[in-house]
Amino acid sequence: MSSKLICRRDLDFLLYQVMGADGLVSFERFAEHSRETFDATLDTAESIAIDHFASHAAELDENEPRCVDQQVALIPQVKAALAQYYDAGFGAATQDYALGGMQLPLTISVACKAIFSAANVSTLAYASLSAANANVIGTFGSESLRRLYRQPLLDGRFTGTMALTEPQAGSSLGDIATTALPTDDGHYLMHGSKMFISAGDHELSENIVHLVLARIKGAPAGVKGLSLFLVPKYLVEKDGALGARNDVVLGGLIHKMGYRGTTSTILNFGERGGAVAYLVGEPHQGLAYMFQMMNEARIGVGVGAVGLGYTAYQHALDYAQERHQGRPVGNKDASSPPQPLIAHSDVRRMLLAAKSYVEGGLCLSLYGAQLADRKAWSGEAAERERARTLLDLLTPVLKSWPSRYCLEANSLAIQVHGGYGYTRDYPVERLYRDNRLNPIHEGTEGIQSLDLLGRKVMMREGEAFELLCGEIELSIQHARSYARMREFSDSLHAALDMLRDTTKTLSRVLRAGDTELALANSSLYLDAFGHLVVAWLWLRQAEVALRVEDTSNDEARAFYRGKYMACQYFFRWELPRIEHACRLLSALDTTCLEVSADNF
């Protein structure tokens, strides 16, 4: 029976047949792993996701966290689910054996994350944030911070947050106003207010570890003056025992459209004299530290968006196969029995679009995770460097493409359900509401597009971009050997030429210093770029499908044919849209620049 989370057949196909993830075991880091250990981990993830995460997702959505006696109360299933998650080792999945970790490749961990996100993204968020937090402390924190905070975070005894956003500054981190005053004891006293802090308060863990961007008194203006601090909810003694309550208080709970089970908080620091804060790393390096962690966080947002869209697609598919309604347009016989919804061409169109988005998005996330694994653990310096370059370039795409298109899959899933999809009796409306966050947090789509075009594509004179083009060209060469791939490889080739020309034009304008003109339509560039990358990954999926199709049984053949058809859908229905984007971009269209505030 289908779990309606992530189709395991598809996950296996993407991981092993397309990405060759089993090849990662040749890295020393993963030497003790094998396809068997990967599969066992995925099995466990799926089983915990079904039994302990999916089972309370709807109830959690209907019962938001609330303040009771100055504590944040959550339904008890959240804590129980997290206990299962940590007991099974997912809290430290990618960590060193020495830290109690599994030394799992990020690729497999990201696959697990897709499964958990599909099941219950709100509950998962507590664990994901804690893992990211532990990573920052592990990489940049002093020995003492690592000793006192990292292990409890990995074990699930503590949970963590990332406290960047302030009410007045939003995405503009350079305007962060929270201050930190040095004391004679070596720590700092923090004053300020942070907003939209996920998992900022609750009773799920013994302690909460906030990683806070703030400005040491006298620091330069802008992002160059930001430092990173660790601020615990409860102070921790040198022996690890919990001490006094720190001066961090809950300023309020924020009520959201979705993701309702993850507390979103306003946190006030230093209302009673100053919150004890410990500097992480060097002063004024806060943003650089956060950015080094961003790659993983942004893959995380992307795969979360995939999970939410993917499971909605699975629900819609199931509904379209079970629900009998109406007759195909050719059939005028009113007394004939109603057909399954999937018999209608327009329903198949919606399902194909959703399939191309969510399976394309999952492939993209796994590809990004594999780059991260290669960058960190490959034995060859050149491969590490190559992976780092590609990952840097693609990070904005890994974050924003799934956030946009898997969200669209959520909307299509509602539409396939018709009136039922709009009710709270079916999960698709909740999944839509949850996913609507992803184009906003961890850098909005607009910000990702500036990062891609203004920074990543331009870095090292376009070297990263050319590296990616080379990879894509290689796949085009491979695909050309199949007659049935010819249409796709030709289209991709033409699209690549177009994007390359567009990129050249925009780079020239940027180098000439007209930043505003070059970046005016950057979100269109991000969209076209993302579509090209996903088309490439669909080409790779279809090529594998064609290669093995003949040697398969009937069921597998239907699966592989589905891959080919989704590729055909993407190449015929989706990829051509980038033509128009490239035309507008190459023409340096000034419509959005020209229009003035009083024209609205």
Q: Which residues are catalytic?
A: 442
In whole angstroms, what separates CA 421 from the centre of its chain? 25
Q: Which of 236, 456, 569, 582 binds its own copies (CB under 8 A)?
A: 569
Closer residue to its own copies, CB minimum distance, 251 or 368: 251
223 binding its own copies? (CB under 8 A): yes
Phi-psi region of 156 (alpha: psi -120 to 50; beta: other; left: phi over 0): left
Using the structure block, give the residue that is written with the tokens 């203004």: 454
Backbone angles phi and psi of 45, in degrees to 5: -60, -45
Q: Which of 50, 73, 88, 169 binds its own copies (CB under 8 A)?
A: 169
Strand, helix or coil for residue 69: coil
- Calculate helix-pair angle for 35-48, 106-140, nearest 10 degrees: 80
Q: How far is the CB of 128 from its own copies (least distance, A)?
A: 18
Q: Which residue among 40, 440, 459, 548 contacts its own copies (CB under 8 A)?
A: 440
C-alpha dist (Å) from residue 503 to 388, 493, 495, 499, 523: 21, 15, 12, 6, 13
Site for its own copies in 133-152 (CB under 8 A): none
Pick 170 or 240: Cβ nearer its own copies: 170
Asked if 415 interacts with its own copies (CB under 8 A), we say yes
CB nearer its own copies, residue 167 or residue 243: 167
Q: How far is the CB of 523 from its own copies (least distance, A)?
A: 5
Verify binding: residue 450, its own copies, rule CB under 8 A: yes
- Stretch of 130-138, 150-158, 216-224, 461-469 lying at the interface with its own copies (CB under 8 A): 216-224
User: How far apart are alpha carbons 427 and 421 in whole angstroms?
Assistant: 8
501 binds its own copies (CB under 8 A): no
The DSSP element (H or E) to which 196 belongs, if any, is strand 188-198
Axis-axis angle for helices 428-435, 381-417 (nearest 10): 140
Which one, 278 or 488, has the nearer CB to its own copies? 488
Which long-range contacts (C-beta less than 8 Å, at least 24 apart) are formed by 63-72? 64/253, 64/255, 64/260, 64/261, 65/202, 65/253, 65/260, 65/261, 65/263, 66/253, 67/250, 67/253, 70/250, 71/203, 72/201, 72/202, 72/203, 72/250, 72/253, 72/263, 72/265
Please tell me whether residue 195 binds its own copies under the rule CB under 8 A.
Answer: yes
* 433 lies in the site for its own copies, by CB under 8 A: yes
Candidates 59, 175, 237, 461; binder of its own copies (CB under 8 A) is: 175
Give the contacts of 87 (CB within 8 A, at least 6 positions apart).
none
Q: Residue 565, interface with its own copies (CB under 8 A)?
A: yes
Question: Smallest distance from the beta carbon of 174 to its own copies, in angstroms?
Answer: 5
Q: Find the shortest distance in angstroms from Cβ 175 to its own copies.
A: 6
Residue 58 engages its own copies in binding (rule: CB under 8 A): no
Q: How far is CA 45 from CA 28, 118, 412, 489, in A?
A: 24, 11, 27, 36
Q: 373: how many CB neighbours lie within 10 A of its CB?
A: 25
Residue 446 in the binding site for its own copies (CB under 8 A) = yes
Q: How far is the CB of 29 from its own copies (least distance, A)?
A: 37
Question: Among residues 42 and 358, whose Cβ is nearest to its own copies?
Answer: 358
Question: Which listed range, 21-29, 367-375, 444-452, 469-477, lies at the site for its own copies (CB under 8 A)?
Answer: 444-452
Residues within window 323-352 making contact with its own copies, judged by CB under 8 A: 323, 325-330, 334-335, 338, 340, 342-349, 351-352
Which range in 152-160, 205-213, 462-470, 552-560 contacts its own copies by CB under 8 A? Answer: 552-560
The span from the CA of 117 to the CA of 132, in Å, is 16
Q: Which of 373, 429, 451, 543 binds its own copies (CB under 8 A)?
A: 429
**Residue 366 to residue 574: CA distance in whole angstroms:** 21
State the minimum distance, in angstroms, from the CB of residue 588 to its own copies.
12
Contacts (CB under 8 A) with its own copies, residues 502-521: 515-516, 519-521
Please report how close the Cβ of residue 216 comes to its own copies at its closest, in angstroms. 16
Pairing verdict, β 207-216 and 71-73: unpaired
Site mask for its own copies (CB under 8 A), range 279-318, x = bound: --------------------------------------x-
- Residue 553 makes contact with its own copies by CB under 8 A: no
Q: What is the C-alpha to C-alpha distance for residues 197 and 99, in angstroms, rounded to an integer?
A: 27
Near its own copies in 231-270, by CB under 8 A? 254-258, 264
Rule CB under 8 A: choose which of 449, 489, 491, 503 binds its own copies.
449
> Cα separation of 128 and 146, whole Å?
18
Binds its own copies (CB under 8 A): choice among 61, 373, 392, 445 = 445
What tokens were used for 478? 């491979």
Our CB check for its own copies shows the closer of 263 and 370 to be 263
Instruction: Select from 136-144, 236-244, 300-308, 435-443 the region that touches its own copies (CB under 8 A).
Output: 435-443
Q: How many CB atoms neighbour CB 419 within 10 A?
A: 7
Token couple for 35: 């396809």
